[in-house]
Amino acid sequence: MDLKQKIWDQWVLMLHKQEDRAKRREALLLEQIRKSMPDYDEVADLSITELHVIQSIGEKGNVNVTSLAQRIGVTKSAISKITSKLLKKGLIDRFQLEDNQKEVFFRLTRGGESVFSFHEIFHRRLERQMLSFLSQYSDSELEFLQKVMRDATIEMEKNWNNQ
């Protein structure tokens, strides 16, 4: 087997493992949020996409449907549905600016801020683990890895867009 084939096989294995771990991490995070907010029934059926919307609002502050759709990479229609669910769950509020009554903005409620905080802590822990793992490589190795990952991401985008 040639080296390119070995790299491809390892790449596919890594993607599958990452997908599996991501599902388990998401389930763990949602379970931790539920346990930490036992009196807040609204988080019982929180989806990972709803969590990403909460994350986006928490990071940017007051945001509208268009900016949320762009940040998360879904349609404005999908954001409208997700924000409706989050409004019903009491995790976000909607409001309009005094000088712009046409556009609707969103912000986190106290419950939404708690969910956002748990998500942030969870991601910081994952980031620390990855940075620790990467510390075993030299700067030149990291630069090469960054180039490969960037180029692979671009290639994946091209392939996805062509299908």
Tens-digit pLDDT profile for residues 65-88: 999 999 888 899 999 999 999 999
How deeply is 112 buried, as exposed, middle or buried, from its count of CB atoms within 10 A (0-12, 13-18, 19+)?
Answer: buried
Residues 6+ apart with CB under 8 A from 18: none
pTM (two decimals): 0.74
Instruction: Give residue for tokens 């748990």.
Output: 118
Is residue 91 within 8 Å of 111, Cβ to Cβ? yes
The order of strands in the sheet holding 100-108 is: 63-64, 100-108, 92-97
Over pLDDT 70: what percentage of the chain? 95
pLDDT at 82: 94
- Any idea which of 48-52, 113-117, 147-151, 155-159 has the lowest mean pLDDT? 155-159
Is residue 90 within 8 Å of 42, Cβ to Cβ? yes
Is residue 135 within 8 Å of 112, Cβ to Cβ? no
Over the stretch 27-42, which tens digit does the pLDDT of each residue have? 888 888 888 777 776 6
Q: Which two tokens stand for residue 111?
A: 């419950």
pLDDT at 109: 92
pLDDT at 161: 64
Q: What angle do CA 119, 104, 93 make, to 5 degrees?
A: 45
